[in-house]
Structure 1
């Protein structure tokens, strides 16, 4: 019996209960607990047994609803109930074309919703694919390449540069190992790994003794012990989080559902009441039923879902021009209601291009202008161009950064890109800003030998020939100071090394979020052709420091300021270190808790100690979260949503998937984003730039405004139509409009008039106002009052003219045609009032939206066909009108326009006086 079989329970207990603690165990402890010899690996017999116990190294697909159920659920909405009712009503009326059109709208909306939800579920499939790979393992004492799905806990895997970790691995041996964990942790640079145990409570980004599934080895070699597979890996836990994240309704859909539910019961109630009243009067049941049907048709806003879909689609088109691709239509409106943006740091708020910003050499401090990899800028001292000839230490420090360097900067299609390590690329760019050219220097001082960077020694060294052979070194400050005995002075002479002064300068640079590298040199002997650690162990000459950072985007800083002015909180959630994150956040201008004038960053380790009850308060006050684990991002989003916040969340990595799906609107990066992030998101930025989010929010607000304008425009018509039919019932008179005429008005005016509001430009100051409160109803009290006003004006003008025409001897068909045309004309005039819900039309410009006039012209033309063509007369029961009848109808429309304009003007002036008086009250207070 093998040792593995004797200790079988220990494996099960540890793997299931202490999965988070592998990083805190020494390599030998981990090997003993999983009963494996690192030189032999598992036997095939043991692999088979463990595969039976743990299953395959794949992520379990959660059972999803069938496609049919998912499709049918799209009809489970109050507004859809109303449209289905309208479909049945028009079908009963024999209006087969109109019935088909309305049902077509329902079907199209349902298909779009079905497609969107199906795409959202693709995030989990993308996660599963991220784990499919080959793995090199040690089994039965031999190396084998197997499918990663066959791995089991206890397998010994061998990794080298370019390999993807096939499971969660405890490192047993590591040589100069660097791993790109950006997709999982958000860390902006490759992480140096080692085998030493770390603290049990260290967050994911600080578990340097571990390698995680789906991350990639960028440098070095390693031997690892598989400790978690499949669903128990960190990426597997993310899949579980994505599956459990809620699909939230948007603010608009919530309000429309509430409004539609209320409208549904009002329509059914009124129709039932009318039917009952007429039936009790002894009216013919068939006529009574048709009257109830007419009332239902008049009250149903058939054009609302069409308008919502088209307005959102146009918003998608506008946002695409501002580099934001919308994957789900409702995201357009959600952006307009957003009041918190949780943004990643690297590439979104920053350039994602390391840039040297400060240099200290020869005891003097310099600043470097210019951002990113483009070599535009200069070395300055006291805002004046620095003279290299006046400081030999500065010249040598820049040369060391350029020559002790394995990366290159190249221009491709107008873009400057780094081939190699971004840190080394930043050093070359700094040297080029001082006028150095790499090829020229390498011709003068060709490289003879090099010591590559090793984590054990924390430096790189290169030997260069030429007239004055020299060894240049770059590395950590500690490694350089330990080996230096002298410092190069500005004159070129060597002087005493003031280590304390240098350490003070390093602390200052680090407090500003700069990553600091130190540089040194050593004169080489003539004819020396190789360099090793013995040559560089002591007596080096210290040259200086270069401090670099991934600088904030200028446009992102402006966008953040604009968002904050618009009442939108911006929070940074990043996998980077707290000091760097806080420094960047301060430069960008984020607002949050401060200490000694500096923004305070809450780390992932601190979040672990904060309970769910206290978290919402802390999240509200904090602007920066650093070293955050994937599940903590999800927790932060939920904490904000518990305060009724509408949250937009950006992300690009696998780790961002759950938070992107949970957020009210998930925003993925188009350039650096993983498939998982994109599939879980509602919107994708094509330029990975925060300023594009601000632009999308602005467009979203404009779309929401226009949707509100459409609703405020269309409801008075439905109200007026319902009231005129109810009045006819109360007075026991003839119907002023036939059901088919009601349908004609509702459908044609929605398309030809209401949809022209889609093209209404954004109103001035749209980003100067706070976000719309989440508890604010779709229609405010003021808008409800205006809706009632216009609805009653439509009732009075249409029914008054109806009675007048009958009194003048007009036929019923003529009188009904007059009523139908009154609604069309009044809606046309009222459309001008609805171009702004607050400002008088003179303030927004009469001709800033010419589409309104095109729509009115088209509506009048179509209505003329309705009135004067025999075919339409036969189809809709209409009749030709004379000139005086048309004049009276236009007069009714002009009267409504005038009254509403006066009401808006009064409200606008009162609001302006209130705003003007507010500062005075504040001063008195």
Structure 2
């Protein structure tokens, strides 16, 4: 059949229209709708027509902001507007030195902000790279090998083991095909494909009649017709989800933004008041404006952006040592606020290595120790290690698993991997734990023939020669048991199959989320050269069951416990089956809604029926979500955020990328993670270990603690500077500090003093307290009161000593230098009190952070240059001071320390005492 030009011209939407449910249609109907023959494929003319209509099989790249635009956006902040305006006006007033200093501060902040700006998303490029570069197709009745970018809907493609699907394909024919879809769906076991249609509402992971772009064929081969290319594929839809996900502000940036907007209006109002008072007093407009500028400059914490950036960068360095690489600086602080972690299952909470954990043979149940693909572990009956000589049925069950097997264990650099199907790999590992050597077995019982696994029959069988020729068979429980009429016992004798016991063993394994395979055998006549389905249709001997699962990481169990202890909810969102997901959730110890003593799990099919409003409550109270599609993962993250949750999302597959980007912090796996996941994430774990998240959260909380200490330390300075200017205007006095002197105070102290707080150690009990509420301000009522107290002390000390110097007949430059130095010295003394906001200095150790003392020494050195060098005297209008002036300044600093220590003891003393008693 051929598609006509009229039909092509009249079709405005591609055949991959979302309304088309290709998985639900018969293969013949799909071929008819796409106007193509499975034997001839498309003609060159048809290919060109469709390529013109639908475009190439590539992802649409997202347009990024230019470097210039990103740099200019660094000036798009309310407080920066004030400084820029002040720069322009000071130039107009010919105060060029002041203008240069003010603008230099703004420009330095912009450069630092631009350097740490790493939000250019590369996820779409990574998605494009994930597509297969070549594809085998049938066109004009001839097989061709083409660039996969040239595929169009309707192309007939041929797929075999080891290939990636080059586009979304509706299977027309297949032979024993298994596909690894873990990167797309999160399911740990390869999916068996079938050309038969499935239900219209079937979730992505159960659409067995489809092959999806970028998924890998691990077994078998087949033929299919392309139904979606480029942006229309399931991977393309994920791209759109990534592009549509919001870049959310972090809790810290939100709080700083709110604080900046409030401060902006306060500064403008106070500056207007100061300007009005000056004019009423008859002062010149230029002079009055410079006073208003001094107030604005003093009230703006210019050093805050620089300090926050550097402190976050130090947090990045600390986290790197704990195997967590931060891609975006603000993610450091977000970790400290996280109260929900949405974790993928496969490869994140689990090993991503199928492991046999239970074996049933000869009416006995055995436990297999050890996890993963390393053949380290034992087969136990109760607490006793099993001897194979004591159970012939167990021996044959294990031999069947290793001989009726097409996969192999590969070991390189101490790492064991599976070549082939992970399920078969797990069977070989189990046999090797019992002491079997595959090469030796294959020499003793070489394979003569095999019946490969077929979906129609649900089993695989192999014929082995040697001294005692034998047929081994493995497959689904139903397919194998239907062919058995006897059972092998531990002593080697045959008996009737105890169906009740087998059913009980299967149910017990399945209830734990294990995937169960059954095994059988039959004697073969000497010289038998081949086998067929007739040879295995009946009369087989049942030899046992093996139950396997992708087990949880042991470290993840402890990490989940610590996270929940710290008030962080851990939720599993996976594409795997509900029973398996619930079993793993129980093993790792997830909390959540329970019914009849079991964790409640919600499936993707159930999510389709739930409204967004209903989902908010369900998402908050449920801990396990299974068979979830990429869009549903994204929807769950948004539902939690609608409840004011700070959400961290972990994952490693393509299917995780949209949710990783939408989450407040996306966490990708560094080893097993796809490029798409890494590029969409804010943080990458270099060891793929969930337990590293707990360490990162701990560091994140510590970073926020130290940021809070910095803010509590720096704000009183800005308050004091603003109050000094306001007091001078109200009293009709000269300014105690000039604008450039205020900038000197703010910038030098922020870097030399404030940043030393970044090196403070984690305070005791940091993981015993709950996460901070998302709506909680950085400064609590108590800390605001302390800010007002210290700001007032700075006002009193600086203004009173300034007036005292003028009364003594000193020059205005000398008096202003005294007032400036008062701020420097009192900030240094106050820094010691801010090392802990609630505890006395002796509790955290006087010398536990030597950087504080190095910073104070450096600050005093630069302040000496400010006071005594002619160049600084010219630049900052300062003047040398004598010993008595310095003694009075240091005396004021000592008084401040005493007052703050008393306030801290009165406000927090009882709380600290209770913590010590606990």
With structure 1 as the length reference, what TM-score do the two structures score? Answer: 0.94
- What is the aligned partner in structure 1 of residue 687 from structure 2? 687
What is the CA distance between 1:633 and its match in structure 2? 0.9
Report the counterpart of residue 103 of structure 1 in structure 2.
Answer: 106
Structure-1 residue corresponding to 2:530: 530
Mean Cα displacement is larger for which, 365-374 or 753-762?
365-374
Deviates more, 1:876-885 or 1:816-825: 876-885
Query: Corresponding residue for 2:328?
Result: 328
Would you say the 8 A contact 1:341–1:649 is kept in 2? yes
Deviations 1:813-843 (A, max 9, x none): 3332222222111111111111112222222
How far apart, in 2, do the equivalents of 1:76 and 1:495 lie?
82
CA contact (8 A) 2:74 2:110 kept: no
CA distance, structure 2, for counterparts of residue 647 and residue 717 of structure 1? 35
Q: Which shifted more, 344-353 or 232-241?
A: 232-241
Query: C-alpha offsets along residues 424-445 of structure 1, whole Å, 9 cap, x if unaligned?
Result: 2222222222222323333333
SS at match of 1:348: helix
- The 8 Å contact of residues 522 and 541 in structure 2, kept in 1 or not, is answered as yes
Aligned counterpart, 2:797: 797
- 1:605 matched residue in structure 2: 605
Q: Is there any run of 5+ residues in structure 1 with no aligned partner, and where? A: 920-925
1:383–1:85 CA distance, 2 compared to 1 (3 A): farther
Give SS of 2:536's match.
Answer: coil
The change in CA–CA distance for 1:270 and 1:350 in structure 2 (over 3 A counts) is same
After the TM superposition, which of the residue ranges 418-427 and 610-619 deviates more from structure 2? 418-427
Moved more, 294-303 or 799-808: 799-808
Alignment CA distance shift 1:871-1:193 (3 Å): same
Please give the per-residue CA displacement for 1:211-244, whole angstroms capped at 9, x wherever unaligned: 1122222221111122223332212222221221
- Deviation, 1:572, is 0.6
Q: Is the 1:89–1:297 contact (alpha carbons within 8 Å) kept by the matching residues of 2?
A: no
Indicate the residue corresponding to 1:112 in structure 2: 115
Question: Deviation string for 1:744-774 (max 9, x for gaps)?
Answer: 2112111110010111111111111111111
Q: Is the 8 A contact 1:79 1:257 kept in 2?
A: no
Rounded to whole Å, the distance in 2 between the matches of 1:148 and 1:429 is 37
Indicate the residue corresponding to 1:237 in structure 2.
237
Q: CA deviation at 1:83?
A: 4.9
Query: Following the alignment from structure 1 to structure 2, what is the Cα–Cα distance between the partners of residues 910 and 761?
Result: 23
Q: Which string of whole-angstrom CA distances, capped at 9 and with x for unpartnered residues, describes residues 668-721 of structure 1?
A: 221122222222111111112111122111111111111111111001011111
Q: Partners of 1:75 and 1:781 in 2: how far apart?
A: 31
Q: Which moved more, 1:93-102 or 1:378-387?
A: 93-102
Measure how far apart 1:85 and its partner are. Answer: 4.8
Q: Secondary structure at the match of 2:162?
A: coil
Question: Which secondary structure state, in structure 1, belongs to the residue aligned with residue 335 of structure 2?
Answer: helix
Q: Following superposition of structure 1 onto structure 2, how do residues 720-739 of structure 1 map, counting pairs within 5 Å?
A: 720-739=720-739
Matches within 5 A, 1:63-78: 63=63, 65=65, 67-78=67-78
SS in 2 for 1:103: helix
Q: Is the aligned partner of 1:867 residue 2:871?
A: no
Q: Residue 585 of structure 2 aligns with which residue?
A: 585
TM-score under structure 2 length normalisation: 0.95
Matches of 2:535 and 2:15, distance apart in 1: 47
Distance (whole Å) between structure 2 residues aligned to residue 272 and residue 80 of structure 1: 18
Which shifted more, 843-852 or 76-85? 76-85
* Contact residue 411 and residue 417 of structure 2 kept, 8 A: yes
Q: CA deviation at 1:521?
A: 1.6
The structural deviation recorded for 1:557 is: 0.9
Distance 1:880 1:29, change over 3 A: same
Aligned mates of 1:827, 1:565 — CA distance in 2:
37
Partner of 1:287: 287
Q: Any idea what the Cα deviations from partners look like across 1:28-47, whole Å, max 9, x if unmatched?
A: 22222223222222333333
Partner of 1:197: 197
Task: Give 3-state SS (helix, strand or coil) of 1:347's partner.
Answer: helix
1:826-845 alignment, distance < 5 Å: 826-845=826-845
Return the offset for 1:490: 1.0
Give the structure 2 partner of residue 297 of structure 1: 297
CA contact (8 A) 1:603 1:626 kept: yes
CA distance in 2, matches of 1:356, 1:720: 69
User: How far 1:62 sits from its partner (Å)?
Assistant: 4.8
Higher mean C-alpha displacement, 539-548 vs 805-814: 805-814
Contact 2:715 / 2:787 at 8 angstroms: preserved in 1? yes
Go from structure 1 to structure 2 and tell me whether the alpha carbon gap of 1:467 and 1:145 turns closer, same or farther (over 3 Å shift). Answer: closer
The reply on whether 1:702 has 2:705 as its aligned counterpart is: no
CA contact (8 A) 2:325 2:686 kept: yes
Distance 1:866 1:6, change over 3 A: closer
Whether 1:678 and 2:681 are equivalent positions in the alignment is no
Separation (CA, whole Å) in 2 of partners of 1:863 and 1:8: 79
- 1:647 — aligned with what? 647
| 1:313 positional shift | 0.7
2:462 corresponds to which residue?
462
Cα distance in 1 for residues equivalent to 2:542 and 2:649? 45
Q: Kindly tell me the number of residue pairs found equivalent between the two proteins.
A: 915
Post-superposition offset of 1:96: 6.6
| Residues 301 and 718 in structure 1, CA contact (< 8 A), matched pair in contact too | yes
Answer with 358-367 or 164-173: which moved more. Answer: 164-173
Change over 3 Å in CA distance of 1:436–1:682 after alignment to 2: same
Partners of 1:362 and 1:394 within 8 A in 2: yes
Whole-Å separation in 2 of the counterparts to 1:54 and 1:879: 76
In structure 1, distance between residues paired with 2:14 and 2:718: 67
- Distance (whole Å) between structure 1 residues aligned to residue 487 and residue 505 of structure 2: 15
* Structure 1 residue aligned with 2:717: 717
Q: Give deviations 1:533-583, integer Å, cap 9, x for gaps.
A: 332222211111111111111111111111111111111111110000000
Distance (Å, rounded) in 2 between the aligned partners of 1:547 and 1:910: 57
Shift, 1:281, TM fit? 0.9
Where does residue 922 of structure 1 map in the other structure? none
CA distance in 2, matches of 1:318, 1:332: 10
Closer, same or farther: CA 197–500 of 1 in aligned 2, 3 Å:
farther
SS of the aligned residue for 2:888 comes to helix
- Listed as ranges, the matches of 1:358-373 within 5 Å are 358-373=358-373
1:89: Cα distance to partner? Answer: 7.2
Q: Deviation digits for residues 50-87 of structure 1, max 9, x if unmatched?
A: 33443433333455555544443333222433554565
> Which deviates more from structure 2 when the two are superposed, residues 384-393 or residues 21-30?
384-393
Provide closer, same or farther for how the CA distance between residues 494 and 901 of structure 1 changes in structure 2, counting only shifts above 3 A: same
Task: Give yes or no for contact 2:219–2:421 (8 Å, CA) kept in 1.
Answer: no
Indicate the residue corresponding to 1:616 in structure 2: 616
Provide structure 2 residue ranges, at least 5 long, that are not aligned to the other structure: none
Structure-2 separation of matches of 1:153 and 1:619:
38
Residue 484 of structure 2: aligned partner: 484
Judged with a 3 Å threshold, the aligned counterparts in structure 2 of structure 1 residues 648 and 83 are, in CA distance, closer, same or farther, namely farther
Q: Deviations over 1:276-303 (max 9, x none)?
A: 2112211233332322222222212111
Q: CA deviation at 1:420?
A: 2.8
Q: Secondary structure at the match of 1:534?
A: helix
Further displaced range: 496-505 or 790-799: 496-505
Q: Distance in 2 between matches of 1:224 and 1:419?
A: 25
| Offset, 1:735 | 2.1
Q: Contact 1:651/1:677 (CA < 8 Å) preserved in 2?
A: yes
Structure 2 counterpart SS, 1:530: coil
Q: State the shift of 1:350 in Å.
A: 0.7
In 1, Cα distance between equivalents of 2:725 and 2:5: 85
Contact 1:463 1:530 in 2 (8 A): yes
Q: Is the 8 A contact 2:520 2:542 kept in 1?
A: yes
CA contact (8 A) 2:486 2:541 kept: yes
**Conservation of the 8 A alpha-carbon contact between 1:90 and 1:99:** no
- Once superposed, what is the RMSD of the aligned Cα atoms? 2.4
Cα separation, 1, equivalents of 2:152 and 2:906? 76
